[in-house]
Structure 1
């Protein structure tokens, strides 16, 4: 008799638990998303992506956005559409049980703006080509010439080396591809150019020029040369 009573209590307890879970789940499914938190990374000073743009993309995933029933929210679809955007490098969307939808956005980081004939576009730090934006214009180095996909890796490395150095960042104004495997740099403080050559041994070439600039260019009132060749690892050749 005692065993039957225990079994009955266990059965009733399980039934009550199942009912409670079913009720909670039903209540959860009927609840609506009440807050959308959009976290856009502006750490690098880029403003390609705005909250308005994020809203318009999320609305494509859910026509009833932002007033969605929680059971209908498909975060995978939202992430997919966000990650398809040219200016978004990473998107993470998740929904909390309290009805808060989170959208975390990392933007593309352009390091170069390319002029190639009538074409203009950016190259990002991930060596990806993205179009210019009507929303925002990034302050980055300009590169022109017949630049192709094979040049992206070297150009990104070159731009990053320049941007990470205070002297070079304030001195180098632009990059030009003259012909295959031959690049030159334009400077802001004089009527001369730097012949870089191939996009190889970039750190060595730039370090050599920094020493030369400090020891010679900064101490000279007049520079009689029009060109400095950085192609060689151990010397800089000046040409009038």
Structure 2
């Protein structure tokens, strides 16, 4: 029995060492969720390669999977990454990209992502999201994010709002289909304000009067104040 155990241990050690010394067959990169590529597979491969010409030139025991994940997560386009080996010797890389909600334009341009953080622009893809101009600062970033979350979570607003102008904590919306602007005011009471906007739209569509207005003001608590052209 002792001899059998010894032989088994030697065989296991030999097999394990031989398996670890094998080179990687291939790397498979999968982008989770949105198919819009702010970072390409080639760029992900470059992050993985580092000093090697290819990950397939590396043996299994030379791979540091945790380090690979850390390198990917340092890229500002990547929200999450998982790197692991499959049984058949492939290196599997699952990448989740960050998701932009709006694009700030001005002297410094960047996206605001779905966690309210700055996200750099990509040379590979431009997201079709509302444009934000005006005073975007660290002080009002949370208020801007609050407005963006409300807009992107509502089907009507997500399709209709194409731009946001910011002056401190005062917001003005630009609409897609009609040539008027919406004075939103502060980020307080957004549910009621957008409820009033939808009610106004329904009535104006019925009256065929949407194109007769230049401003729609939602700042007042119990009414919608409109300015005609």
Taking structure 2 as the reference length, the TM-score comes to 0.90
Give yes or no for the alignment of 1:53 onto 2:46.
no
User: Equivalent of 1:14, from 1, 5, 30?
Assistant: 5
For the aligned residues, what is the CA RMSD?
2.0
Compute the displacement of 1:29 (Å). 2.1
In structure 1, the partner of 2:223 is 235
Over alpha carbons, which structure has the higher Rg?
A: 1
User: Equivalent of 2:25, from 22, 31, 34?
Assistant: 34
* Whole-angstrom CA distance in 1 between matches of 2:134 and 2:210: 30
Residue segments in structure 2 that go unaligned for 5+ positions in a row: none
User: Equivalent of 2:193, from 205, 211, 234?
Assistant: 205
In structure 1, the partner of 2:115 is 126
CA deviations 1:139-179 (Å, max 9, x no partner) are 101011111234333333423433343432332221001x2
The answer (yes or no) to whether the contact 2:23–2:56 under 8 Å persists in 1 is no
* Whole-angstrom CA distance in 2 between matches of 1:150 and 1:112: 18
* Distance 1:130-1:190 versus aligned 2 partners, 3 A rule: same
Compute the displacement of 1:230 (Å). 1.0
Compute the displacement of 1:220 (Å). 3.2
Give yes or no for the alignment of 1:141 onto 2:130.
yes
Give yes or no for the alignment of 1:44 onto 2:34.
yes
In structure 2, the partner of 1:187 is 175
User: Equivalent of 1:165, from 154, 175, 178?
Assistant: 154
Structure 1 window deviating more from structure 2 (23-32 vs 59-68): it is 59-68
CA deviations 1:86-109 (Å, max 9, x no partner) are 110000001134311110000010
Q: Describe the SS at the equivalent of 2:46.
A: helix
* Whole-angstrom CA distance in 2 between matches of 1:45 and 1:154: 29
Q: How many aligned residue pairs are there? A: 228
The answer (yes or no) to whether the contact 1:88–1:105 under 8 Å persists in 2 is yes
* Distance 1:188-1:22 versus aligned 2 partners, 3 A rule: closer
Compute the displacement of 1:224 (Å). 4.9
* Whole-angstrom CA distance in 2 between matches of 1:217 and 1:195: 19
Compute the displacement of 1:233 (Å). 3.5
Q: Describe the SS at the equivalent of 1:149.
A: coil
* Whole-angstrom CA distance in 1 between matches of 2:54 and 2:156: 52
* Whole-angstrom CA distance in 2 between matches of 1:182 and 1:28: 63
Give yes or no for the alignment of 1:220 onto 2:208.
yes
CA deviations 1:179-235 (Å, max 9, x no partner) are 221110112333321111111222221111001111135523465543222123322
* Distance 1:126-1:220 versus aligned 2 partners, 3 A rule: same
